[in-house]
Structures are given as structure tokens and as C-alpha cells.
């Protein structure tokens, strides 16, 4: 499982012109699910995601997590993160989970996230989404479990 975590001052996801998820300060998280992923990887990723210290403390150092600042989390499924880009000029997607598995695991991830954190928003699985954000910093990390 891969998650591209971006510290944002705001982010939103639109589908066909309608906003389906929106946050102010917090994390936009693009999630790539791979065939070997399961509940254990979801739990590890959420623990890392909620506790990863990417927000500034009083001294301006990255010492606070999204939980510490009570920020929003916008989860967006993005199968292209799991693409094989090792050779050629076209990505391969055999390294990404099948749509049925990915949808089930993404739904499980969202359920677990909502049980652990107050402000969780999502995109729409499988939809053509328009994601807009103001990356704060910019601060972006690729997390893998």
C-alpha cells in the first residue's frame, strides 16, 4: 500500500461539478492499493498517517500530527500510485489491486479512519475526480507499508 500524503491548507474533490469531499487545514491522502494489501496494511497505514508529524509546532518544527492539530483528512483512491513505472514509456497496472479488491479495502480504510478521527472526507471510488488543493509548504511524503 502506498499513500501520497500532502499537507494542505485546503483541498477538495469534485465529481461532475459537485463537491464530494472538502477539508481545510489537514492532509490530502492519495491511496494506492496493491494486490498483497489487507486489513493489516490498512491498520499500519492509518497509524502512520494519523501520527506522522508534518505540522509545525510553536518553534516552527515539524513536530505535530494531523491528530494533534485536529485537522481534516481527505482520502482519495488513486490506483496509478501502484503502477509499475520501471521500464518503458507507459505505466503498467498489473501491480495495482483489482478494482473489486481495491474498492473493498478502500471502503474498509475509510470506515476505520472515521472510527479513529473526527474529520474524514473522501473522494468517490472509481469516478473521474477533479482534485484541487493548496499544498502547504509544499510538504509531500510517500508512505509505504
Range of the domain at 70: 2-144
Would you say the C-alpha torsion 45, 49, 54, 59 has a positive or negative sign? negative
Q: 6 falls in which pLDDT band (50, 70, 90)?
A: very high
pLDDT in tens, 115-139: 999 899 999 999 999 999 999 999 9
Predicted pLDDT of residue 78: 95
Specify the number of domains making up the chain: 1
Candidate list 80, 85, 111, 134, residue with the active-site label: 80
Look up the pTM and report it.
0.95
Candidate list 25, 36, 43, 79, residue with the active-site label: 79
What percent of the chain has pLDDT above 90?
Answer: 96
79 catalytic? Reply is yes
Would you say the C-alpha torsion 113, 115, 121, 127 has a positive or negative sign? positive
Task: Assign residue 98 the CATH number of its domain.
Answer: 3.50.80.10
Candidate list 55, 78, 106, 122, residue with the active-site label: 78
Amino acid at each position: 500500500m502506498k499513500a501520497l500524503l500532502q499537507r494542505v491548507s485546503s483541498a477538495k474533490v469534485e465529481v461532475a461539478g459537485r463537491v464530494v469531499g472538502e477539508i481545510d487545514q489537514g492532509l490530502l491522502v492519495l491511496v494506492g492499493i496493491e494486490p498483497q494489501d489487507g486489513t493489516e496494511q490498512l491498520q499500519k497505514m492509518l497509524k502512520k498517517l494519523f501520527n506522522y508529524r508534518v505540522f509545525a509546532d510553536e518553534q516552527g518544527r515539524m513536530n505535530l500530527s494531523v491528530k494533534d492539530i485536529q485537522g481534516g483528512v481527505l482520502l482519495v483512491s488513486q490506483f496509478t500510485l501502484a503502477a509499475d513505472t520501471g521500464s518503458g514509456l507507459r505505466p503498467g497496472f498489473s501491480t495495482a489491486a483489482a478494482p473489486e479488491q481495491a474498492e473493498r479495502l478502500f471502503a474498509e480504510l475509510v470506515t476505520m479512519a472515521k472510527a479513529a478521527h473526527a474529520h474524514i472526507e473522501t473522494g468517490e471510488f472509481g469516478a473521474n475526480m477533479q482534485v484541487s488543493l493548496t499544498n502547504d509548504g509544499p510538504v509531500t511524503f510517500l508512505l509505504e507499508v
